[in-house]
Amino acid sequence: MTSRIMPLRRAASAAALLATVLPLAVTSPAHADGDSSPCRTPVSVALDAEQARLADARTTALVERAGFTDFVRRFPAALCGVRSEDEAGRLVDSWGEALWQAAVRRAQGQRPGGDLPAGDDRPLYWARVAMTAGLARWEPGFALDRAALRSRFEDASRGLTNNAFRAAPGVRRVFISGFDPFGLDAEIRRANPSGSAALQLSGRRVTLADGSSAEIRAVVLPVRYADFDAGIVERAFTPRLAGGPGAADVITSVSQGYPGIFTLEDWAGRARSADPYPDNNRALSGGTREHPVTAPGLGPGPEFIRTTLPAAAVTAAVRGPYPVLLNTEVTEIPAGGTAPVDRADGPTPGSRAVEGGGGGYLSNEVAYRSNRLRAELAPRLPGGHLHTPVLTGLPADQQLLTGPEFERNESAITAEVRAILEHAAARP
């Protein structure tokens, strides 16, 4: 396994990141009637890198072919109907939650619309980006904190709000996070199987390997350093770790990893070290293999945190089209040293983290941040990080947004994510 994963970890970083992955009964949320607008929504405003990609017509097609066009079309008019910052906050909450619920229901076959496969995560991503562009263009007649308003919309449309476990005696509670598509400058059609799995599994009741029941809840996180700096991981995971009826029994972050395999990451590292590979806004972390950095706003913790998921049981039991391996590799600067060293069997005492098993990018960081919280708030809780295989199979014709191989691979990955969770969450 060691000789297999280390080159894959290097290759995945170079290839995947080089250029950098409405509810059924409701037409649209409140305040959405009509397209007339008492405020100005100028076409020419400064958009960020994600929003600027909307100029590619394929992003609009992904929204239209999922039946999400009304969200994008009617959101600006809804904004222009509000008269105060408080009202604007309530509106973006309701629209964000409606978009999230529409995406979940569509992914689970409960909301018909469009000809894209139900589990496709890309329509949610591009609808959200288009709606944030509408928010950026909005010129209300009153003062407001636009960044705070966008943050509220992002949280709501990612499942961070109004997404609680249903109280049910004896039912285990499993909380997972996925990610947006990334590497979009190299291939704008990319999807992210971790986001697809999150949409298809959130709210589902499943039967665990021990015969007991569990409910899964999920969020989809951005591939942006600034959001991590602002605490989105902590906002997502803290309510699930703080005890009480909203707490989880098992947590794991999920992201896209290596070609052809699933990996349970044994170690998460504290450092960022992925430069020169950017995030979805083309921002850099400021850290490299030779000079790793600690993320802003990260609470105290060790250089490396080890998974508490039952990795041996999972790797022995799950059988699917993709092998499931435990990845024990890290990269560290040894105590007293100055240069990074790759280790096949975990970190050595006193070393400085460079890369966890998932590298030095945001997939490693979500694992570290969520499990640092777990160690602080619920140290006996099983938690860790799962890397899915790379989702392949997009047609060679750049105008085709999906194809049979792509759809088969996405379905197979999600099915195996579910199987892994059913073993990882079973009682020992």
Q: State yes or no: pLDDT of 22 exceeds 90.
A: no
Q: What's the one-letter identity of residue 235?
A: R
Length of the chain: 428
Number of H helices, E strands in the chain: 13, 14
Mean of pLDDT values over 401-419 = 98
Does residue 180 sit in the same domain as residue 289? yes
Provide the pLDDT for residue 43.
59
Domain that holds residue 282: 172-424
Does residue 196 sit in the same domain as residue 121? no
Does residue 349 fall inside a structural domain?
yes
Does residue 348 sit in the same domain as residue 413? yes
Alpha helix segments (H runs only) across 347-403: 362-377
Q: Is-contact 195 220, C-beta < 8 A?
A: yes
Q: State yes or no: pLDDT of 17 exceeds 80.
A: no
pLDDT tens digits for range 329-371 = 999 999 999 999 999 999 999 999 999 998 999 999 999 999 9
Q: What is the average pLDDT score of the chain?
A: 91
Does residue 191 fall inside a structural domain?
yes
Does residue 368 fall inside a structural domain?
yes
For residue 119, what is the DSSP state?
T
Q: State yes or no: pLDDT of 13 exceeds 70.
A: no
Does residue 67 sit in the same domain as residue 208? no
Mean of pLDDT values over 217-226 = 98
- Based on the structure, what is the number of domains in the chain? 2
Rounded Cα distance between 408 and 406, Å, is: 6
Confidence of residue 29 (pLDDT cuts 50, 70, 90): low
Does residue 291 sit in the same domain as residue 212? yes
Q: Is-contact 345 279, C-beta < 8 A?
A: no
Does residue 14 fall inside a structural domain?
no
- The b-or-e profile of 73-92 (16+ CB within 10 A means b, else e) is ebbbbbbbbbeebeebbbbb
Q: Which of 157, 180, 196 is the last residue of a domain?
A: 157
Does residue 11 fall inside a structural domain?
no
Beta bridge pairs of residue 173: 215
Does residue 120 sit in the same domain as residue 188? no
Does residue 200 sit in the same domain as residue 306? yes
pLDDT tens digits for range 159-215 = 999 999 997 889 999 999 999 999 999 999 999 999 999 999 999 999 999 999 999
Does residue 133 fall inside a structural domain?
yes
CATH number at 350 reads 3.40.630.20
Nearest to 253 by CA among 229, 235, 233: 233
pLDDT tens digits for range 240-292 = 999 887 899 999 999 999 999 999 999 999 999 999 999 999 999 999 999 99
The region of weakest confidence among 108-117, 184-193, 223-232 is 108-117
Alpha helix segments (H runs only) across 2-110: 2-16, 49-52, 57-64, 69-79, 85-107
Does residue 129 sit in the same domain as residue 248? no
Does residue 64 fall inside a structural domain?
yes
